């Protein structure tokens, strides 16, 4: 397992980590299997979505912001309840097949770390389960 450090610059932000995950896979020399990308943060998430047009992730973050506003009368007193809810909806991990040492993502897909309570220093863990 390898850990990737991520520095976020905004309270809410999507960071494309596809190339960094591919670097971990390449260094592992795994030819086939799966890779799991996971964050242990309760106010962040990991997802796969389109990486050809940055407006797609901007729309995702905007929609989450409208659906789950920062101030929504939450019981949690730290002021980041919206981030916890967004994190739950997006999820904390993704799994991607690996073949011939390459992530098997669709043409327009990328892996995103989603920050919902930044800016912060964050980490994602990348675990490769090799089949050969």
Q: Tens digit of pLDDT for each residue in 97-109? A: 999 999 999 999 9
Strand residues in 18-131 grouped as ranges (E): 32-38, 44-50, 93-99, 102-103, 109-115, 121-130
Find the CATH number of the domain harbouring 66: 2.60.120.460
Instruction: Please state the pTM of the whole predicted model.
Output: 0.96
Number of domains making up the chain: 1
**% of the chain exceeding 70 in pLDDT:** 99
User: Quick one: which H or E segment has residue 13?
Assistant: strand 13-16
Q: Which domain holds residue 36?
A: 2-130
Predicted pLDDT of residue 72: 84
């Amino acid at each position: 397992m390898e850990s990737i450090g991520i520095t976020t610059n905004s309270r809410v932000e999507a960071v494309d980590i596809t190339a960094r995950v591919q670097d971990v896979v390449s260094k592992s020399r795994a030819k086939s299997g799966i890779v799991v990308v996971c964050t242990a943060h309760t106010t962040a998430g990991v997802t796969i979505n389109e990486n050809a047009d940055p407006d797609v992730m901007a729309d995702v973050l905007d929609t989450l912001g409208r659906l789950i506003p920062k101030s929504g009368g939450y019981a949690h007193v730290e002021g980041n309840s919206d981030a916890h809810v967004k994190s739950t909806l997006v999820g904390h991990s993704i799994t991607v097949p690996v073949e011939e040492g390459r992530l098997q993502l669709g043409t327009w897909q990328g892996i995103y770390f989603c920050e919902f309570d930044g800016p912060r220093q964050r980490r994602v863990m990348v675990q490769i389960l090799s089949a050969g």
